[in-house]
Amino acid sequence: MGVCIAFVISQNQRVDLTSRRFATALILLICAFSFQFVLFDGQPQWQRERFFFSSLQMLFGPLLYFYTCNLTLSEFQWRGRYWLHFLPAPLLMLLWWWQSPVQNMHTLAEACYLANDCEPLIAHRGLYRWAAFISIGVYAFLALKTLRQHTQHIKAHFSAIEDLQLRWLQVLAYFMLAGAGLSACYDLLGFMGQVQRYVHSPVYALGSTLVMLLFAWFAIHQTKADGGFIEPSPTKAAQTKETVQSSSSLTKEVESKYRTSSLTQESASLLWQQICDYMQNEKAYLQPGLKVADIASVLEHPTHHISETINGYAGRSFYDLVNRYRVVEAADRLASQLNTSVTEVGFDVGFNSTSTFFTHFKKHFARTPKKYRQELSKGNKEILSDLQKEKNSLRNIG
């Protein structure tokens, strides 16, 4: 089954060849890892060969990390030195060959503290277990860091990020990080003699199979998520990480930023005014899937100048700014278009999904759109006051 799934993933034309190769390798690795648990379970004469296979778990982390990089980074290219990340697996295989047989306590074997029933095999495998825990944990952390940077990147260029955010990959990375942490804690408790250190192999096999199926499902439907048509900034300042600052520090941030940018403070101020006029007068935010590139095309400016100006003057990402305009427009329509359903209002103002609409609306008005309309019908004047404050805030932003 795993081989068939790997073949299907290898034919997924929605992503590039490198991503398909990483995904296929991950599926085959999980399949082989699950199979060896079942194949060698209950056969002590094959224990040495079994743990040669177990060293392959050192490949999980690098494969996940490079798969994440290739999906999210448009400039990512495979380089020869990256093969060093996969070197620990064959090295541990050689180390296990040198350490075998396990009848006597080897130099690398760990003693089991307060555990009278510590088997020699378990004692000899301590180094390998912890190497796997650390490897999986570190690479899962690096994958999550890459995904967080990816989220910031797409928020700077897109108003709809549901198909680009890779939440499923974030969940998988968190799952691997948590699994490595829990396994390390369990092994430590076993070292202290508090729990039995051996867990039946079918449990591992079942868990690995479930991970393989879930990964395969999402990988088959995955598309390239790097927004490859985003124009890269030629300046160092435009490539630095933008952070959301408080309104009192925005002026200082703008001044310092444009000292080193190709966009001067004066031209940035003029461009910001053009962006505000375009958003408020033309209501560009009503366009579903609005991108920075769309505004750049209309205003005839490079995309990195648009993104840089919004971050500097609005103190927030393009994604947050556009969706704030949409939320305020939706609140206005919920009050004036009583015969239009809440869901329809969300789509009319530019949201691509009801869940995203509800999330952003509740963020700004502390209630769902349905609750908002219900309170309006009851004559709650505080609702209209909050709406007016949001409108004034948008007019005075930056």
Reported as a pLDDT band with limits 50, 70 and 90, residue 233 is very low
Mean pLDDT of the chain: 79
Domain ranges for the chain, please list them: 2-221, 236-395
Rounded distance between C-alpha atoms, residue 219 and residue 213, angstroms: 10
Residue 287 has pLDDT above 80, yes or no: yes
Q: Name the CATH topology of 236-395.
A: Arc Repressor Mutant, subunit A (1.10.10)
Of 41, 29, 54, the closest CA to residue 211 belongs to 29
- Percent of the chain at pLDDT above 90? 32
Q: How far out from the chain centre does Cα 11 lie?
A: 24
| Whether the Cβ atoms of residue 299 and residue 274 lie closer than 8 Å to each other | yes
Average pLDDT over residues 226-242: 42
Whole-number pLDDT of residue 379: 76
Query: Which pairs count as long-range contacts for 382-388, CB under 8 Å and 24+ apart, including other chains?
Result: 383/335, 384/335, 387/328, 387/331, 387/332, 387/335
Whole-number pLDDT of residue 43: 61
Rounded distance between C-alpha atoms, residue 235 and residue 258, angstroms: 11
User: Which one-letter DSSP state was computed for residue 196?
Assistant: -
Average pLDDT over residues 240-245: 36
Residue 1 has pLDDT above 80, yes or no: no
Position 356: which residue type? Answer: T
Residue with tokens 């968190």: 174
| Whether the Cβ atoms of residue 318 and residue 294 lie closer than 8 Å to each other | no
User: Which one-letter DSSP state was computed for residue 110?
Assistant: P
Average pLDDT over residues 157-169: 88
- Percent of the chain at pLDDT above 70? 75
Residue 91 has pLDDT above 60, yes or no: yes
Cβ-in-10-Å burial (0-12, 13-18, 19+) of 357 comes to: buried
298 CB contacts (<8 Å, ≥6 apart)?
Answer: 278, 284
Q: How far out from the chain centre does Cα 198 lie?
A: 33
Reported as a pLDDT band with limits 50, 70 and 90, residue 369 is very high
Residue 109 has pLDDT above 80, yes or no: no
Average pLDDT over residues 66-80: 90
Rounded distance between C-alpha atoms, residue 78 and residue 83, angstroms: 9
Whole-number pLDDT of residue 242: 38
Whole-number pLDDT of residue 148: 94
Of 350, 369, 366, 347, the closest CA to residue 358 belongs to 369
